[in-house]
Each structure stands twice: as structure tokens, then as C-alpha cells.
Amino acid sequence: MSTVHSISADHLSLEQLETIISQKYSLALSPEAEDRIVRCHVYLHQKLKGTHTNLYGINTGFGALYDTKISDKDLELLQLNLLKSHACGTGGEVPAEIIKLMLLLKVQALAYGHSGVQLKTVKRLVDFYNRDVYPVVYQLGSLGASGDLVPLAHLSLPLLGLGEVYFQDFKLDSKHVLEMFGWEPVKLMAKEGLALLNGTQFMTAYGTWSLLKARKLVKLADVIGALSLEAFDGRLEPFSPQLHRVRPHHGHTETATTISNLLAGSELISREKTHLQDPYSFRCIPQVHGATKDALTYALAAFTTELNAVTDNPVIFPEEDEIITGGNFHGQPLALALDFLAIALAELGSISERRTFQLISGARGLPRFLVAEPGLNSGFMISQYTAASIVSQNKQLCTPASVDTIPSSNGQEDHVSMGANAATKLYKVVQNVERLLAIELMNAVQALEFRRPAKTSLQLEQLVAAFRKNVPFVAADRELHQDLKTSIRFLNEYTL
């Protein structure tokens, strides 16, 4: 039996979310969450019976049609039409790992009891999560402003027996999966379609996944950078605490301390050096890696707030007898953080490629391209080409999405965040940085062999030994694509 995470109003941290996902917890609504959902739903329908006031998206049209009153008899049809009309996505399909997060985050947001949905609607989303039923959602379509309308429409269609889902790696019409489990299609009531579609769960899911991955990548960058420094016969002075005491950015100091600790006890680092300085890609590891870590801290704060937020519209406050229409769905806080994180991570990959370049250059007594008989063998020459190509693509992907806006809905929605595009771009940058670090690791371990019998620190020797169980020394040219695949998988699985 899997461990159960109880959805409640308690603060949800990124660490808790990582545990829920990685340990494959199932979800359940806490009694207090169920009570809040029911109380809000009852309040909304009592309010509708006793008012002739226009309530946006509840008894009116949407967007520029906000001034069109909808009759009581058509309120449920209004919500059904909303879901169907907004399911207008295109492009590639959203990966299952992101869909799983979207389901969890949508349940969390609705469970605060400010959205007016039926309890059974939220429970069905929990069922999807627990049974690994993944709605087919497309990457393109959201402006990241009125919530992630298009992707959330596709996420929600299977509740009604519409759209498609993946179940056990098969793509199926959702109605067949509902029949398989004996689930009746949900019949939407007033505001439910709007509550399902309004929200930032597409952006937040991509951003959360990227943050979780980024936290490991920044640690790997330090470890691999330290190994490259050793292989390049680099100097330790740039990591001295005195330097960072007089320019005390937190990330700088942390990185310098980490590198120093990683190199403690190294025979190589303590050897007398013939060169006075190292290239920036080695000497400035604390400044560059550290700045990325500080950017990660900023993004983490933005997304932790969003994990614990109500982001649909209008927002219902039963205790205050208020239904307030506003802009909590607007993705600007996330869009800026997503763009910033992409830029910061891209720099981590950029400096990694420069270290790879230095290692294959034939400097400091290393053979050109890290192979015997260069000329007959090209060795690791083309691994740097691949890294350069990836770095260039990252630069293109880092054009900020958050500075763009295109008005929609007849000008009613006249400023949008484009945070969804920022999110999907960041996802690619994260994967690219992992590839770049894998290339650097391949080169660093190969270069270290030419420093033998001298050894680096115990920590780094353990990393090298583990890597060598997967990727052997390159004595003569071979297909490096397979080594690169293995290196990427090694980084995914290696525990720091």
C-alpha cells in the first residue's frame, strides 16, 4: 500500500511535493478540506437563488462577454460549453510527469474552498491522480493570464467523459476509462467549468518540475566543476573564504565552500602549480554558479507561494459573504521567475561548455582531445561541438517570454504574461543543462586519467569510480552517443 498524502490547508513546501511525487504517495482529501469544499459549494448555490446580481462567469458570459446575462436554466450548459470551447490546444503533448503535477496542484487549489465546485468533482481528480489516468494535454494555447485556460480545459474534459487520456501507456477515449472504473461522468454545476479552467497549474507544474530538477543540477555543477578543475590542474585560491567575505553574495560563498570541501585531501590540488591563474570558467565558478543559486532562491520563493494559492476567478469567500472577481489567475509572478530561472540555468550550462573546451584544448599537459594518437583519433573533439550547439539553443530559448503580451478577448484581456511559453522553454533548458553537465563529466573523467597515478579527493574519486562502472575509458574512437546517453542516465540516478 502506498503512503497517503492528505490534502489540506497546511502549507505545502517544495520538499513535501518532491516526496509526494518521488515516493509515489496517493492522495486523499482531509475531512477539513472536504468540509471547506462543500461549504463553499452550498454557499454559492444559495447565493444564486437569492440574487439577481450579475456574477462573472457564474451567470454571465466569459471574457468580453462578461456583460451577457445567462438564464438560470442554462447555467450548467454554460459551464459545459466553456470546457468544450476552450479545449483548443495544439503542439506536442505535455509529458506524464507534468500532468501528474497538474492534477495534484489543481486538487490542492480547489481544496481551499474558495472555488464553489462540487466535492465529487475534486474527488474525481484525485481518482485520476491515484489511478495514473493522465488526460491528454497540449503544450500550446495558454497565454498565462486568464489562467492556463486551454491546457486546463484539456485536463478537465475527461471528467465529463470527453477528450483522451493515457492509461497504462495506452491512449484511450476518456469515456472508456470511466466505464472501466465504473465512474459516472461529472455533470458540471454553476461556476465549475470556470474554476477548473482558471488557474496557473500548467505554469506551476512545469516550473515546479524544473525547480526540483534545477536544485540537483546546481549541486552536480559544483561537483563536476570541481572534478574539471582537478583534471585541468587548476588552483584553489579562487575559492578562499577571504575573497568571498569581501563580496558576500550568498551563492558565491556557498559555492566556494562547497568546492573547497569537495577538494579536501586531494593530492592534485595541493601540487605546486606552474601557472599563476586559471581561465574564468574555472576561476569564476563561485561567482557564476553562485549567481545561479541566488536566482534559484528567488524562483523557489515565487513558486512556493503559488503552490499554496487560490488562482481561479471569481474567488468565493463564504465567511465574508463575498464573491470577488479579480486577477489571481494572472501568471506574471511566475512568468518572470520562469524566465529568470531559464537564464540562470543556461549560464550554468554555458560555463560548463567552456570548461569542456579547455579540457580538450591540449593545455596543461593534457593530450589534444583527450585521446592517444590525436589525428588518427578525434577523441572528444565532437563532444564539444555538441555542447556548443546545445549552449546556442539555450541562448535562443532564453529570449524572455514575460516581456511579450498580445491582447485577447476583444481587448478585455489586454495584458497577458505568456508564462506558459516561459514554462515550456524552461523545461527544455533544464534538459539541455543536464546534457551539458553530462558532456563535461565525460571529458573531466577522461582527462583525469592522464593525471594518474595522482589522485583527487576521496569524494571525487568515488564519483569517478561509479562513473567508470558505466562508461569505460576511451582508448580509441568509438560512438560517443551511447556514452552520452549513459552519462545522462548516470546523472539522473547518482545520489550526491
pLDDT score, position 458 = 97
Q: What CATH number does the domain containing 267 carry?
A: 1.20.200.10
Does the structure show a pLDDT above 70 at 63? no
Mark whether 188 and 327 lie in a shared domain: no
Mean pLDDT computed over 396-419: 92
User: What's the pLDDT tens digit per position in 314-333?
Assistant: 999 999 999 999 999 999 99
Mark whether 288 and 386 lie in a shared domain: yes
pLDDT score, position 381 = 96
* Percent of the chain with pLDDT strictly greater than 90: 88
CA-wise closest residue to 247 among 297, 284, 300, 301? 284
Domain count across the chain: 2
Q: Where are the alpha helices (DSSP H) in 87-143?
A: 96-110, 119-130
Does the structure show a pLDDT above 70 at 1? no
pLDDT score, position 64 = 64
Contact 137, 94 (CB under 8 A): yes
Contact 431, 206 (CB under 8 A): no
Q: Write the DSSP assignment of 167-197 as a string of letters.
A: ETTEEEEHHHHHHHHTPPPP---TTHHHHHH
If you compute the radius of gyration of the chain from its CA atoms, what whole number of angstroms results? 26
Mark whether 90 and 228 lie in a shared domain: no
Lowest-pLDDT choice from 73-77, 99-103, 115-119, 395-399:
73-77
Dihedral of alpha carbons 280, 278, 491, 385, sign = positive
Q: How many Cβ atoms are within 10 Å of 82's Cβ, its own excluded?
A: 23
Contact 352, 440 (CB under 8 A): yes
pLDDT score, position 409 = 85
Output the nine-digit C-alpha cell for 331.
501568471
- Report d(CA 58, CA 79) in Å as an integer: 8
User: Does the N-terminal peptide bond of residue 333 adopt cis geometry, omega within 30 degrees of 0?
Assistant: no
pLDDT score, position 146 = 84
User: What's the pLDDT tens digit per position in 437-488?
Assistant: 999 999 999 999 999 999 999 999 999 999 999 999 999 999 999 999 999 9
Is residue 69 very low, low, confident or very high in pLDDT (cuts 50, 70, 90)?
A: confident
Return left, alpha or beta for 314; rule: phi > 0 is left, psi -120 to 50 is alpha, else beta: beta
Output the nine-digit C-alpha cell for 40.
463553499
Last residue of a domain, one of 147, 167, 199: 199
Mark whether 185 and 252 lie in a shared domain: no
User: What's the pLDDT tens digit per position in 41-57?
Assistant: 999 989 888 777 777 77
Rounded to the nearest 5°, which phi and psi values hold at 408?
-140, 175
Q: Report angle CA 41, 42, 43 to the nearest 5 degrees.
A: 90
**In angstroms, what CA-CA distances link 478 with 367, 368, 464, 475, 487?**
17, 16, 20, 9, 15
What mean pLDDT, rounded, does the chain reach? Answer: 95
User: Does the N-terminal peptide bond of residue 472 adopt cis geometry, omega within 30 degrees of 0?
Assistant: no
Mean pLDDT computed over 81-99: 96
Mark whether 107 and 135 lie in a shared domain: yes
Mark whether 350 and 371 lie in a shared domain: yes
Mean pLDDT computed over 368-395: 95
Terminal-residue alpha carbon distance, the chain = 29
Output the nine-digit C-alpha cell for 492.
539522473
pLDDT score, position 262 = 98
Mark whether 241 and 226 lie in a shared domain: yes
Mark whether 21 and 159 lie in a shared domain: yes
Last residue of a domain, one of 145, 179, 199: 199
User: What's the pLDDT tens digit per position in 153-172?
Assistant: 999 999 999 999 999 999 99
Mark whether 45 and 189 lie in a shared domain: yes
Does the structure show a pLDDT above 80 at 80? yes
The burial of 412, by beta-carbon neighbours within 10 Å (0-12 exposed, 13-18 middle, 19 or more buried), is given as middle
Residues with a known catalytic role: 56
Last residue of a domain, one of 184, 199, 214: 199
Q: Where are the alpha helices (DSSP H) in 232-372?
A: 241-245, 250-262, 280-283, 285-307, 332-360
Does the structure show a pLDDT above 60 at 193? yes
Predicted model pTM: 0.95
Contact 213, 295 (CB under 8 A): no
The number of residues in the chain equals 496
Rounded to the nearest 5°, which phi and psi values hold at 230?
-65, -45
Contacts of 410 (CB under 8 A, 6+ apart): 63, 64
Mark whether 241 and 145 lie in a shared domain: no
Is residue 66 very low, low, confident or very high in pLDDT (cuts 50, 70, 90)?
A: low
Domain membership of residue 109 as a residue range: 4-199
Does the structure show a pLDDT above 90 at 139? yes
Mark whether 276 and 333 lie in a shared domain: yes
Helix or strand holding residue 29 (H, E) = strand 26-29
Contact 278, 233 (CB under 8 A): no
Does the structure show a pLDDT above 60 at 185? yes
Q: How many Cβ atoms are within 10 Å of 178's Cβ, its own excluded?
A: 21
Mean pLDDT computed over 135-150: 95
Mark whether 77 and 153 lie in a shared domain: yes
- Report d(CA 116, CA 44) in Å as an integer: 6
pLDDT score, position 48 = 85
- Report d(CA 326, CA 313) in Å as an integer: 6
Q: What CATH number does the domain containing 14 carry?
A: 1.10.275.10
Lowest-pLDDT choice from 39-43, 97-101, 105-109, 407-411:
407-411
Q: Hey, what amino acid is at 272?
A: E
